[in-house]
Amino acid sequence: MLDPKFESVWFHEFIAEKLEEAIEKVQHKKKVRIILSVPPRSGKSTLAAQYFPAWVLGKHPEIQFILSTYGAELAEKMGMKTRDIISSEAYQAIFPGIELRPDQKAKAKWQTKQKGSYTAVGQGAAITGIGAEIILLDDPHKDRAEAESAHTRESVWEYFNSTLYSRLEGYGAVIVIMQRWHTDDLVGRLLEQQEQLKGAGEPYDEWEVINFPAIAEEDEMFHGKIVRKKGDALWESKFPLEVLNNIRAKSLYNWSSQYQQDPILAENQEFKESMFKYFNEEDIAGKYLRYTTTVDPAGFKKKSDDNVVLTVGKEVNGPNWYIVSIISGRMNPTQVIDAIFMEQNKYRSEVFIEGVAYQSTLKWHVEERQRKDKRYFIVNEIKPRGAKEDRVRSLLALYNIGVLHHRRSHVELESQLLKFPRGKKDDLPDCLAMQLEAVTNSSGSSAKQYKPKWQGYARKK
How much is the pLDDT for 26? 94
pLDDT at 438: 87
Residue 331 half-sphere exposure toward CB, CA atoms < 13 A: 20
In a domain, 251, yes or no: no
Say how far apart CA 336 and CA 307 lie, in whole Å.
7
Separation CA 325–CA 281 (nearest Å): 12
Q: What is the pLDDT of residue 441?
A: 62
- What stretch of H or E contains 355? helix 355-357
Domain co-membership, 279 together with 399: yes
Last residue of a domain, one of 228, 263, 289: 228
* CATH code for the domain in which residue 115 is found: 3.40.50
DSSP 286-328: T--EEEEEEEE--TTS-TTPPEEEEEEEEETTSS-EEEEEEEE
pLDDT along the chain (461 residues), means of 10: 76 95 94 96 92 95 95 93 92 91 87 92 88 94 91 94 92 95 92 91 94 93 93 94 91 89 78 93 93 82 73 94 94 90 95 81 87 91 84 94 94 89 86 88 47 44 41
**Sequence letter at residue 243:** V
User: Of the residues 198, 228, 258, which one is the last residue of a structural domain?
Assistant: 228
Q: Which pLDDT score, from 0 to 100, does residue 79 have?
A: 93
Give the chain's domain count: 2
Same structural domain for residues 217 and 87? Answer: yes
Residues in the chain: 461
Instruction: Give the domain range for residue 183.
Output: 10-228
For residue 320, give the CATH number of its domain.
3.30.420.240
In this structure, are strands 321-329 and 404-406 parallel, antiparallel, or unpaired?
parallel
200 and 340 co-located in one domain: no
pLDDT given for residue 129 in this prediction? 83
Which DSSP string corresponds to 39-103?
Answer: -TTSSHHIIIIIIHHHHHHHH-TT-EEEEEES-HHHHHHHHHHHHHHHHSHHHHHHSTT--EEEE
Q: How many CB atoms lie within 10 A of CB 359?
A: 14
CA atoms of 37 and 179, how far apart (whole Å): 5
Q: What pLDDT shows up at residue 1? A: 52
Distances (CA, A) of 73 to 121, 125, 169: 9, 12, 26
pLDDT at 459: 38
Would you tell me the crossing angle of helices 241-250 and 411-419 to the nearest 10 degrees? 50
The answer to whether residues 219 and 327 belong to one domain is no
> Do 187 and 290 fall within a single domain?
no
Same domain, 281 and 408: yes
d(CA 376, CA 351): 12
Q: Pick from 209, 228, 247: which residue ends a domain? A: 228
Q: What pLDDT, on a 0 to 100 scale, did the predictor assign at position 110? A: 92
Same domain, 327 and 387: yes
pLDDT score at 445:
39
pLDDT confidence of residue 456:
43
Instruction: Round the CA-based radius of gyration of the chain to a whole number and report it.
Output: 28
CA distances from 343 to 138, 291, 460 (A): 49, 10, 19
pLDDT tens-digit readout, 8-24: 899 999 999 999 999 99
* Residue 331, pLDDT score: 87
